[in-house]
């Protein structure tokens, strides 16, 4: 293999998170690009001897050129649907143009792009698929040859399409569905997608070409629902087609019963109104492989979910945004008033034992206390347009920076002492939830739980004070329950305390 690395844009996204380990296993040197180095550094492959991490953004020309520099080839796996929401088409357009310029100026040999399986002449084509086609056209119009792999629905644990399918079938024994459930699709397993992506590098004849990639089955979404129910050992679901159920209404319904937000569900459901079936299969003779059937792909995905071995998740692609007021060094009067609530307890357990409980909090494990209240808050959040509970993937290795966990995103992980979660729930303000473990020697530790909130306007203050009694009860209960789960004695507390700012940050605070 050449010593020049392969650039992977969108490295923390769903496909990028699966592609990078496959490239490393194949012997390639990889340069992984993401908007946050902290987020990149927490991936399981981040410390591989052949990996290089680089901070970059496809909308920032200079950072993109720096990432492309000295690379042999690049994978373009970026889509602005999550970050830019309704403005994704223009963002995708500009990002593709930036990639064309950077590739040409830095002497890149080729680009490999994962696009969408759709036909431009389809008058019913969704904006999402139109954007995928437009990005392919822009990339292939440049001087650097681009391989376009046009993929239909991707089935795999953690993919947005699979999560929508899973929540629909598992939560709705009877469902009213729009007409798009009878559109034909040719789903492909994520492992088959990754294999095509990797092998394109080794087959120079794929340079600059366009290929349709799909699985062996051509079926309707209605049939896919039946297959999932059978593989999950559920009763057959009753499906009642309703002609007036638009993609918009479908998206909001999906949002209510699953963690997938309407902003993502809408373009995905709009895409299902058009048939996505391969019109050619030339790549199968160039890169032969066993294509998993839909049943096999669903079975494998379910096994990964049950074993809590989901390698990457659609929600991980969200941008990691640290609240402005959380930065150190601001003047005392900067940023407004930060409301805070802190509780601590002393437990006869070493820091490592408590960390084993803390760094896996949320998701299926729950919050150790008051889970009914957490579920209620999750439902409220989902009803007002938030993600609610259930977002993100179960991970045996614990939490990592940038990971989505229910309505939180992991902001900082410092094993075995500190975990900081940043709230992404719909609320009139920004919130942080921090767990701090302070070793005390003699197999004892002090566990602190701190909530900080930056209110937006009067409604923010009303929100904080209305929920404050529940915070007191839940936080104290969480500390007691964590001590119980550790199997060790609760030596002291829980007691209220005045939270101190981490690392001597001088943020303005106000204690109730």
Q: Are 176 and 257 in contact (CB under 8 A)?
A: no
CA distance 265 to 245: 14
How do residues 410-423 score in pLDDT, each as one tens digit? 888 888 999 999 88
CA nearest to 221, candidates 150, 168, 278, 173: 168
Mean pLDDT of 288-304: 92
Q: What is the CATH number of domain 6-159+181-218+262-294?
A: 3.40.50.720
Which pLDDT does position 486 carry in this prediction? Answer: 92
**Statement: residue 385 has pLDDT above 60:** yes
The region of weakest confidence among 43-57, 84-98, 107-121 is 84-98
CA distance 496 to 475: 10
- 3-state SS of 182-238 is HCEECCEEHHHHHHHHHHHHHCHHHCCCEEECCCCCCEEHHHHHHHHHHHCCCCCCE
Which pLDDT does position 68 carry in this prediction? Answer: 95
Which pLDDT does position 419 carry in this prediction? Answer: 92
**Statement: residue 362 has pLDDT above 70:** yes
How do residues 96-155 score in pLDDT, each as one tens digit? 999 999 999 999 999 999 998 887 666 667 777 888 899 999 999 999 999 999 999 999
More confident call, 285 vs 364: 285
Q: What three-state secondary structure class fits 478? A: helix
**Statement: residue 335 has pLDDT above 60:** no
225: which 2 tokens? 């629902």
Q: Are 386 and 424 in contact (CB under 8 A)?
A: yes
Mean pLDDT of 145-170: 88
Mean pLDDT of 381-388: 83
pTM, 2 dp = 0.76
Which of 11-15, 162-166, 190-194 reaches the highest mean pLDDT? 190-194
Share of the chain above pLDDT 70, in %: 86
Q: Where are the beta strands (DSSP E) in 167-294?
A: 174-177, 184-185, 188-189, 210-212, 219-220, 238-241
Q: Are 250 and 178 in contact (CB under 8 A)?
A: yes
Q: 395 pairs with which residues across the strands?
A: 309
345: which 2 tokens? 């307890």
User: How do 338-347 and 238-241 pair as beta strands?
Assistant: unpaired
Which residue's structure tokens are 């309707």? 220
Burial of 151 (0-12, 13-18, 19+ CB in 10 A): buried
Residue 107: count other Cβ atoms within 10 Å of its Cβ.
Answer: 12
How do residues 216-243 score in pLDDT, each as one tens digit? 999 998 899 999 999 989 888 888 877 7
CA distance 250 to 349: 49
CA atoms within 13 A on the CB side of 282: 12
Domain assignments of the chain as residue spans, ordered by start: 6-159+181-218+262-294, 325-511
Q: Which fold has domain 325-511?
A: Alpha-D-Glucose-1,6-Bisphosphate; Chain A, domain 4 (3.30.530)
CA distance 512 to 471: 12
Q: What is the largest CA-CA distance in the chain?
A: 72
């Amino acid at each position: 293999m050449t010593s020049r690395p392969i650039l992977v844009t969108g490295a923390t996204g769903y496909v990028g998170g699966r592609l990078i380990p496959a490239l490393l296993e194949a012997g390639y040197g990889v340069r992984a690009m993401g908007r946050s180095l902290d987020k990149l550094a927490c991936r399981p492959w981040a410390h591989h001897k052949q990996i290089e991490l680089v901070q970059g953004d496809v909308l920032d020309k200079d950072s993109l050129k720096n990432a492309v520099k000295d690379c042999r080839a690049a994978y373009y796996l970026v889509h602005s649907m999550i970050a830019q929401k309704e403005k994704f088409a223009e963002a995708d357009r500009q990002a593709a143009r930036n990639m064309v310029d950077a590739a040409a100026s830095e002497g890149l040999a080729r680009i490999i792009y994962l696009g969408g399986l759709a036909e431009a002449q389809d008058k019913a084509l969704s904006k999402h698929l139109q954007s995928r086609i437009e990005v392919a056209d822009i990339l292939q119009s440049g001087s650097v040859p681009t391989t376009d792999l046009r993929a239909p629905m991707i089935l795999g644990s953690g993919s947005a399409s699979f999560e929508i399918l899973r929540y629909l079938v598992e939560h709705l024994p009877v469902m009213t569905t729009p007409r798009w459930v009878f559109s034909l699709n040719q789903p492909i397993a994520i492992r088959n997608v990754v294999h095509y992506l990797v092998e394109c590098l080794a087959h120079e004849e794929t340079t600059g070409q366009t290929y349709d990639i799909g699985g062996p089955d051509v079926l309707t979404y209605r049939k896919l629902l039946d297959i999932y129910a059978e593989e999950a050992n559920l009763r057959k679901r009753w499906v009642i087609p309703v002609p007036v159920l638009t993609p918009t209404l479908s998206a909001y319904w999906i949002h209510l019963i699953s963690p997938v937000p309407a902003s993502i569900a809408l373009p995905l459901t709009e895409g299902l109104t058009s048939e996505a079936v391969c019109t050619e299969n030339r790549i199968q003779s160039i890169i032969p492989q066993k294509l998993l059937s839909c049943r096999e792909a669903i079975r494998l995905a379910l096994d990964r979910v049950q074993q809590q071995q989901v390698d990457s998740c659609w929600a991980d692609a969200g941008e990691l945004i640290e609240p402005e007021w959380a930065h150190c060094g601001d003047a005392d009067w900067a940023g407004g008033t930060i409301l805070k609530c802190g509780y601590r307890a002393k437990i006869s357990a070493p820091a490592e034992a408590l960390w084993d409980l803390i760094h896996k909090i949320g998701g299926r494990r729950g919050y150790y206390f008051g889970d009914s209240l957490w579920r209620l808050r999750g439902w409220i959040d989902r009803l007002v347009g938030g993600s609610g509970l259930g977002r993100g993937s179960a991970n045996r290795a614990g939490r990592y920076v940038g990971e989505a966990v229910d309505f939180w995103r992991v902001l900082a992980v410092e094993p075995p002492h500190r975990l900081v979660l940043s709230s992404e729930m719909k609320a009139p303000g920004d919130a942080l939830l921090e767990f701090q473990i302070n070793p005390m020697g003699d197999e004892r530790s002090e566990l602190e739980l701190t909530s900080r909130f930056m209110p937006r306007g009067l409604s923010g203050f009303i929100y904080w004070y209305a929920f404050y009694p529940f915070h007191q009860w839940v936080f104290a209960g969480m500390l007691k329950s964590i001590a119980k789960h550790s199997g060790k004695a609760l030596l002291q507390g829980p007691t209220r305390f005045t939270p101190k700012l981490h690392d001597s940050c001088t943020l303005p605070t106000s204690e109730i």
